[in-house]
């Protein structure tokens, strides 16, 4: 195999690895349990946030989540957006 052909296969492989994946969007109905911890009432999922000061009692929101991503968010109807650390 020549160097040019090896380089072409390497570039094709890297291109396949760098495709972007959009985060999934979920409708949730959340209540704040304690600082930086919210519960989705429909699934029972606990949503751990970071520096989130939104008080919520059965409030509709949107969860933008992709495992291992750094830009996960919990977006409330009020427009407030909070970073999501993890789901439990």
Q: Find the CATH number of the domain harbouring 45.
A: 2.40.50
Residue at 16 is within a domain: no
Domain count, the chain: 1
User: Using an 8 Å Cβ cutoff, are 47 and 57 in contact?
Assistant: no
Residue at 8 is within a domain: no
Residue at 2 is within a domain: no
Tell me the residue range of the domain where 32 lies: 21-87
For 30-79, how does the pLDDT look when each residue is reduced to its tens digit (9 = 90+)?
Answer: 999 999 999 999 999 999 999 999 999 999 999 999 999 999 999 999 99
Q: What is the 8-class DSSP label of residue 57?
A: S
> Structure pTM?
0.74
pLDDT band, very low/low/confident/very high, at 23 (cuts 50, 70, 90):
confident
């Amino acid at each position: 195999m020549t160097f040019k052909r090896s380089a072409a296969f390497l570039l094709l492989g890297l291109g396949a690895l760098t495709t972007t994946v959009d985060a999934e969007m979920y409708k949730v109905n959340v209540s704040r349990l304690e600082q930086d911890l919210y519960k989705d009432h429909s699934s029972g999922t606990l949503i751990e946030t970071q520096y989130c000061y939104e008080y919520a009692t059965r409030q509709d929101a949107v969860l933008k989540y992709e495992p291992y991503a750094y830009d996960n968010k919990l977006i409330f109807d009020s427009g407030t957006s909070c970073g999501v650390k993890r789901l439990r």
